[in-house]
Every structure is written in C-alpha cells, then in structure tokens.
Structure 1
Amino acid sequence: MSIDPSSIPSFGAPQPPQGGQPGGAPAGPPPVIVPDQNLVAQLLDQMQLKHVVDDDGDLTAPWEGFRVYYMFRGDQKELFAVRAFYDRAYELERKGEILDLVDEWNRETLWPKVYTHTHEDGVVRLIGESQMIVGTGVSLEYFVTTTANWTQASVGFEQWMIERLGLQGDIEEGDKPEDGGEDA
C-alpha cells in the first residue's frame, strides 16, 4: 500500500503550488475563517443530521443512546468542542472494566477522547470530547473535515463499546416487538 504524499498534513512546511491562478501565479493559502454556530448548523444540514439548539444555546444532534453537542466556549468563543454524552449507565462496580475499555480506545484512536463521569447515585456514564482552538481562525476545509470526522468517531465509539461489551444481542432484543406469545 502506498500513501499519497499530498494527503499528509504539512503543518506549515512550504507546499508546491496547486493549480495556481491565471498567469502561473501560485494560488496561495486557503482562506481562514472564524467558525461559528451558524457554520456548524450548515454543516450538520449538509450531513443530513437532525439537530436542535438546547437550553444553553448549544447545537445538539441526538442519536439513539447518546447525544453530540457542538459548543463554542471561552470569552470570545475561541474554543470549539464536540462532546458526546452516552446514555448507557454502568454500575459503579463495573467502573474498573469500563476504564480499561476507555483506556484502550484512547490509546488506539485520535478522537474522541473518552472519560467517565460518576454521578452522586453511583451511576457511571461516558463522555467523549474533541476540541480545537478556532479564535485566530482556521481553514474552512480543515474545520469542516475535522468536525465531520469527530462526529463520525463519536458514533463509532458507541458501536465499538456495544461490540466490546457484547451488547449487540441485548440491543437487538430491545428492538423486537413484544408479543407475549413465546415461552422464555
């Protein structure tokens, strides 16, 4: 398998001109934008994802079993975060097992970074989070691609946990209508 060198990020290294402008002049760097909630809403629309604005003013895309929030934080909204709140509750006694799985995920993937939150009643839930500083501006293409990848990875984590915990059968059983006519 070979890797296309143009697919590797340069992190500021000079790049050969791509395309160029009329007369042979280089095209120059891509435009820099400061993203906002409206841009994220447009992106979610393009991805055909249902979304709402919650009581805190954050965009939220709901899935069965979790929600993904798209948030701008800081005094000038300079920090953009995509956070997934997973609904599945784990008993406190299983926290060690869950932490081992979360550690495995965090070692093997770039995002979202997942952590546990233990509620006062002893219920353990998972949260996934990815963040970038956007206050000084970012390339539109980079922002769109990264946000889409973070969203896809948040969905992927839920599926990964279902597989790792062997819950697929339980979930499929929950999807079947109960007719009451079968013997247990």
Structure 2
Amino acid sequence: MIRPDLDRLEQVLEQLQVSSLRDTRGRLATRWQCYSLFFTLDGEGDVYAARTIYDRFFTVDDKAALRGVLDEWNRDTTGLKVYTATDDDGTVIIVSEATMHIGGGVTSEQFAATTTAWLNAAGSFHVWLSQRLALAGLPGEPA
C-alpha cells in the first residue's frame, strides 16, 4: 500500500506519456485541446481528486438548458460528475469532478488505473458533450 503524492502522480502521467505541470495552487495540471484537467491530493492525503474545466463558455440564459444536458450525463454514468459554475463576470462554464478516498492507502496499480480512468473519462465526456450540445441547440464549439 502507498500514500500517493504529486511526485508519484507525475510518474504515472509520465508513464502514460501525458505532459503535466504544477500550478501555483499545488495541483498537477494537464492541458488538452479543449479542456484542462487538474489533479489534487488534499493536505492530509486522504482524498485524491480530478477536476476538469472545459473550454466552453455560456451565458446565464443558457444555464437551464445546459443543466438539463448535464443532468442526463449524471443520471446515466457513474464516477465522473459534471456541473456548471458561474464566473464573477457571469460566464457559465462546465466542470467535471471525480474523487477517491485514499486515507488507508492504495496500491500503485489502483492509483495508476484510477488516474488513467479519469483521463479517459474527461475525454469521453468532452466527445459526448459536443454531440449533446448540438442536439440541445446550445453552442457546440469550444471557445
């Protein structure tokens, strides 16, 4: 059993040939064409989390229809949950999140498999979202 840290996470991402950087908030970030994925381990190392911010921007007027689309994903899938967030300027964005409690430790294989699954889920959601936004009549192209 291991207690993962950002150095171990960096090693996992290197093995997966995924480039990453550490941001000023202590997260390990990966950048993709249409989204950014941030991995965190809380201060005590009890919770491992991945949060993805998608490069799609909406108005408050779009929020009700957008929530309907996201509710469909949340109802039909497990693991990766998605929601809207509103920036201070009123811009609505889409965020996905996954967490795993690791207080008692995990195996190296479990940690690597979870990281891989979260990377794949973020990409799968992006593809699904592109299709669903078009069907819902919402802006379908990333900004």
Q: Give the TM-score normalised by the residue count of structure 2.
A: 0.89
The superposition leaves residues 127-184 of structure 1 with CA deviations (integer Å, 9 ceiling, x where unpaired) of: 11111111210122222111110111011111111111129xx75xx9xxxxxxxxxx
Tell me the SS of whatever aligns to 1:155. Answer: helix
Aligned ranges for residues 3-152 of structure 1 at < 5 Å?
Answer: 32-74=1-43, 76-152=44-120
- How many residues align? The count is 139
Q: CA RMSD in A?
A: 1.9
Unpaired runs of at least 5, structure 1: 1-31, 175-184
- 2:45, 2:101 → 1: CA distance? 9
Tell me the SS of whatever aligns to 2:57. Answer: strand
Which structure shows the bigger proportion of residues in helix conformation?
Answer: 2
Unpaired runs of at least 5, structure 2: none
- 2:126, 2:57 → 1: CA distance? 13
Deviation at 1:68, TM superposition (A): 0.3
- 1:37, 1:126 → 2: CA distance? 25
CA contact (8 A) 2:69 2:133 kept: no
The superposition leaves residues 96-145 of structure 1 with CA deviations (integer Å, 9 ceiling, x where unpaired) of: 11101111101111131111101232211011111111121012222211
Q: Percent identity?
A: 35
Higher relative CO (CA 8 A, sep ≥ 6), structure 1 or 2?
2
Give the partner amino acid of 2:30.
A
Tell me the SS of whatever aligns to 1:34. Answer: coil
- Select 2:122's aligned residue among 154, 167, 174: 154
The superposition leaves residues 19-63 of structure 1 with CA deviations (integer Å, 9 ceiling, x where unpaired) of: xxxxxxxxxxxxx11111111111111111111111112110001
Which runs of at least 4 in structure 1 moved beyond 6 Å after TM superposition?
A: none
Give the partner amino acid of 1:158.
H
1:11 corresponds in structure 2 to none
Tell me the SS of whatever aligns to 1:106. Answer: helix
